[in-house]
A and B are shown apart, each in its own frame.
Chain A
Amino acid sequence: MSRSLSPQPTILARFRAFTRTQSGIDLISQTVQYVILGLGAFIIMIPFLWMISTSFKNEFQVWDPEVWWPDPFVLSNYRRPFDVLPMKTFFKNTMITVLAGVIGVPLSSSLVAYGFARFRAPGSTVLFMVLLTTMMLPGQVTLIPTFILFRRLGWYDTLLPLTVPCFLGSAFYIFLLRQFFTGISKDVEEAAIIDGCGTLRVWWQILLPMTKPALATVVVFEFLGKWNDFFGPLIYLETLDKFTLALGMRMFQSDFIIEYGPIMALATLLMLPCVLLFFFTSRYFIQGISLTGSKG
Chain B
Amino acid sequence: MIKRLSRSNTLKFYLLVSPWLVGFVVFVAGPMVYSMYLSMTRYTMLNPPSWIGLANYTNLLRDARFLKSLRVTATYTFVGVPLRLIFAFAIALMLNNIRRGKDFIRTVYYLPSVVSGVAVVVLWRWLFNPEVGLVNHILGWFGIQGPGWLYDPDWALPALIIMSLWGVGRDVVIFLAGLQGIGVQLYEAARIDGAGGWQCLRYITVPMISPTIFFNLVMGIIGSFQVFTDAYVATQGGPMDATLVTVLYLYLQAFGNLRMGYASAIAWVLFVIIMFFTLLIIRSSTVWVFYETEIGGKKA
Interface residues of A (CB under 8 A from B): 29-30, 33-34, 36-38, 40-41, 44-48, 50-51, 54, 62-66, 108-109, 111-112, 114-116, 119-122, 124, 127, 130-131, 134, 136-149, 151, 165, 167-169, 171, 174, 199, 203, 224, 227-231, 234-235, 246-247, 249-250, 253, 260, 263-264, 266-267, 270-271, 274-275, 277-279, 282, 285-286, 289-290, 293-294, 296
Cα distance, A85 to B103, chains bound together (Å): 39
B114 touches A115 (CB 8 A): no
Q: Mark B258-298, 1 if CB is under 8 A from A, else 0.
A: 00100110111011001000100000000000000000000
A145 touches B38 (CB 8 A): yes
Q: Distance in Å from the Cβ of B196 to the closest Cβ of chain A?
A: 11
Cα distance, A214 to B174, chains bound together (Å): 17
B110 on interface, CB distance cutoff 8 Å: yes
B254 is contacted by which of A134, A144, A169 (Cβ under 8 Å)? Answer: A144
B75 on interface, CB distance cutoff 8 Å: no
- The residues of B that contact A235 with a CB separation of less than 8 Å are 251, 255
B94 touches A36 (CB 8 A): yes
A44 touches B226 (CB 8 A): no
A278 touches B137 (CB 8 A): no
Q: Distance in Å from the Cβ of A198 to the closest Cβ of chain B?
A: 10
B127 on interface, CB distance cutoff 8 Å: yes
B45 touches A37 (CB 8 A): no
B267 touches A267 (CB 8 A): no
B23 touches A168 (CB 8 A): yes
- Per CB-CB distance, the 8 closest pairs between chain A and chain B, nearest first, are A115-B16, A168-B23, A290-B177, A228-B117, A293-B174, A145-B31, A119-B13, A142-B31
Q: Which residue of A lies closest to B266 (CB)?
A: A140
A286 is contacted by which of B16, B98, B173, B218 (Cβ under 8 Å)? Answer: B173
B30 touches A145 (CB 8 A): yes
B247 on interface, CB distance cutoff 8 Å: yes
- The residues of A that contact B176 with a CB separation of less than 8 Å are 290
B16 touches A114 (CB 8 A): yes
CB contact list, B29-84 vs A, under 8 A:
30-32, 34-35, 38, 45
Can you name 9 A-B pairs with beta carbons within 8 Å? A63-B132, A120-B6, A121-B10, A124-B13, A168-B20, A169-B23, A224-B114, A293-B174, A293-B178
Q: Distance in Å from the Cβ of A186 to the closest Cβ of chain B?
A: 14
- The residues of A that contact B278 with a CB separation of less than 8 Å are 136
A45 touches B137 (CB 8 A): no
Cα distance, A131 to B219, chains bound together (Å): 17
B166 touches A44 (CB 8 A): yes
Q: Distance in Å from the Cβ of B245 to the closest Cβ of chain A?
A: 12
- The residues of A that contact B194 with a CB separation of less than 8 Å are none
B203 on interface, CB distance cutoff 8 Å: no
| Known contacts A47-B127, A51-B123, A230-B229, A140 near B108 by CB under 8 Å | no
A293 is contacted by which of B26, B94, B216, B268 (Cβ under 8 Å)? Answer: B216
B21 on interface, CB distance cutoff 8 Å: yes
A115 touches B123 (CB 8 A): no
B270 touches A138 (CB 8 A): yes
B268 touches A141 (CB 8 A): yes
| Known contacts A138-B222, A141-B268, A274 near B114 by CB under 8 Å | yes
| Known contacts A44-B112, A47-B166, A224-B114, A144 near B263 by CB under 8 Å | yes
- The residues of A that contact B21 with a CB separation of less than 8 Å are 127
Q: Which residue of A lies closest to B117 (CB)?
A: A228
Cα distance, A157 to B133, chains bound together (Å): 37
A119 is contacted by which of B12, B99, B111, B254 (Cβ under 8 Å)? Answer: B12
- The residues of B that contact A65 with a CB separation of less than 8 Å are 132-134, 137
- The residues of A that contact B226 with a CB separation of less than 8 Å are 138-140
Cα distance, A286 to B177, chains bound together (Å): 9
A167 touches B19 (CB 8 A): yes
| Known contacts A116-B17, A148-B260, A293-B215, A249 near B119 by CB under 8 Å | yes
B123 touches A267 (CB 8 A): yes
- The residues of B that contact A264 with a CB separation of less than 8 Å are 123, 126
B233 is contacted by which of A48, A114, A250, A294 (Cβ under 8 Å)? Answer: A250
A54 is contacted by which of B20, B108, B126, B255 (Cβ under 8 Å)? Answer: B126
B170 is contacted by which of A108, A116, A279, A289 (Cβ under 8 Å)? Answer: A289
Q: Distance in Å from the Cβ of A192 to the closest Cβ of chain B?
A: 15
A37 is contacted by which of B22, B95, B267 (Cβ under 8 Å)? Answer: B95
- The residues of B that contact A120 with a CB separation of less than 8 Å are 6, 9, 13
- The residues of A that contact B30 with a CB separation of less than 8 Å are 145, 149
B174 is contacted by which of A46, A51, A290 (Cβ under 8 Å)? Answer: A290
